[in-house]
Amino acid sequence: MRRSILDKNDRLAERNRGFFRARGLLVLNVLSSPGSGKTTLLRETIRRLGSRLKTGVIVGDLATDNDARRLGEAGATAVQITTGTVCHLEAEMVARALKQLDLTGVGLLVIENVGNLVCPASYDLGEDLRVVLLSVTEGEDKPLKYPPIFQSAGVAVVTKMDLAQACDYDRDTAIANLRRVAANAPVFEISAKTGQGMDAWCDFLVRQHQALKTRDPLGL
Amino acid sequence: MRRSILDKNDRLAERNRGFFRARGLLVLNVLSSPGSGKTTLLRETIRRLGSRLKTGVIVGDLATDNDARRLGEAGATAVQITTGTVCHLEAEMVARALKQLDLTGVGLLVIENVGNLVCPASYDLGEDLRVVLLSVTEGEDKPLKYPPIFQSAGVAVVTKMDLAQACDYDRDTAIANLRRVAANAPVFEISAKTGQGMDAWCDFLVRQHQALKTRDPLGL
């Protein structure tokens, strides 16, 4: 049964992908533990990108619409998915949420997944890029302890760099562990609070969006 | 299929429970996000309990035996379960791990679950008490965003209190949110690093263990 759920999800994810490409959207699937700073990073990203790259957001949580409200206040068009007891987003949930999202002028669509370092790894949503966050407060060994999700990362973002000293963050070990599991993913080290690393991150997203125009939209 | 997996798990969990009670073990199922400080809390708990209450540990992770090694070094008998891609521990995994654990003299058995605030909520392991951790770095709204696991908590532990100031932790909001979801669970506020709250926590465990002697072992 799990096999057929995943097969169905993979088909619907490809349909989403075709839709996203036809609309010229750069789509991120943002994954991390609960409380790694996904929403704070996105809020600051939306604020800084401003009119350079208009952002739409789909946010998944078991309960509450706190995150969609926070991101809406930052200037994004935002839709909340509440999953109840489901531990991950699926392609079909994203497709349904898209119906509620005004995509006029939107170039970047960010899907903030349920906070979970395990299950969302198995569910393609049709995204261009998986962004996996690791907060400095979580410990340097997380890439080794949750390998599937870090292996699937297109980009890794180390968050809460402002807390690095207070929690004795060992940068060399963390980066080495990321490299072992996600060898080819670019790594950004960011504090959304102080702004450290935010310019490089936003420039990266703008470049990725521009690069879409030079790609065959159906990726063939 | 999911229904029958849960039914089977519930039966095996009751078998575990009978076994634990016959052996006079106090059994904790420790649940949190990845990186909330489960292992650090347990290491300090084991060290402080010392011979007052001998501790055995079963640790679950997708990969690595880092945690079992760390807890073994602190003086516990420790067995690592590596789940591969499975996002939670099940009663049968615990039963298998028990075969490898020397329970001689052990009064407290701690099961450190896979770091995940969603899926482990559905799987009874036969424990006496679910201990759900919330780190001050994760944000005060986590009990509202992950209600099933916090609703199932027998005890809530706020960890990393030493970082409270650095991350602008709002104590009143966090405690109010815990109270809304886990109204009857005692709350401990702890820093395993500075020792804050560790005495009260260890005394609580010793009292819970002593109380087992006055209970009917099969809970009737």
Q: What is the pLDDT of residues B86-101, one digit of tens each?
A: 999 999 999 999 999 9
Q: Give tens-digit pLDDT for B159-205.
A: 999 999 999 999 999 999 999 999 999 999 999 999 999 999 999 99
Q: Which residues of B touch A166 (CB under 8 A)?
A: 163, 166
N-to-C CA span, chain A: 31
The pTM of the full predicted model, rounded to 2 decimals, is: 0.94
- Name the residue of chain B whose CA is nearest to A60's CA: B145
> Which residue of A116, A144, A167 is in closest CB contact with B64?
A144
CB contact, 8 Å: A5 with chain B? no
User: Region B131-153: what's the mean pLDDT?
Assistant: 97
| Separation CA A2–CA B120 (nearest Å) | 18
Beta-carbon separation of B87 and A85 below 8 A: no
Interface pTM, i.e. ipTM: 0.91
Q: If you average pLDDT over residues B144-162, what whole number do you get?
A: 97
Question: Which CATH code fits A2-211?
Answer: 3.40.50.300
pLDDT of residue A220: 67
Q: Which residues contact B90 (CB under 8 A, 6 or more apart)?
A: B9, B12, B123, B125
| B71 pLDDT above the threshold of 80 | yes
Query: What burial letters (b/e) apply to B7-44, b meaning 16+ CB within 10 Å?
Result: eebeebbeebbebbbeeebbbbbbbbbbbbbbbbbbbb
Domain limits, chain A: 2-211
Please give the average per-residue pLDDT across A147-165, as a whole number: 98
Q: State mean pLDDT over A116-134.
A: 97
**Residue of B33, B87, B144 with shortest CB distance to A119:** B87
pLDDT one-digit tens code per residue, B31-69: 999 999 999 999 999 999 999 999 999 999 999 999 999
pLDDT of residue B215: 82
φ, ψ at A38 (rounded to 5°): -60, -50
Chain B residues touching A66 at Cβ < 8 A: 141, 144-145
Q: How confident is the model at residue A164, as a pLDDT? A: 98
Please give the single-letter amino acid code of residue B152.
S
- Give yes or no for B124 touching A (CB within 8 A): no
Q: How many C-beta neighbours within 10 Å does residue B73 have? A: 12
Cβ separation A116–B87 shorter than 8 A: yes
Contacts of A114 in chain B (CB under 8 A): 118
Q: Is the pLDDT of residue A161 over 90?
A: yes
Please name the residue that has the structure tokens 């569910």. A123
B73 touches chain A (CB under 8 A): no
B63 with A116: Cβ contact below 8 A: no
What CA–CA distance (Å, rounded) separates A167 from A173? 14
Task: Verify whether the Cβ–Cβ distance A34 to B62 is below 8 Å.
Answer: no
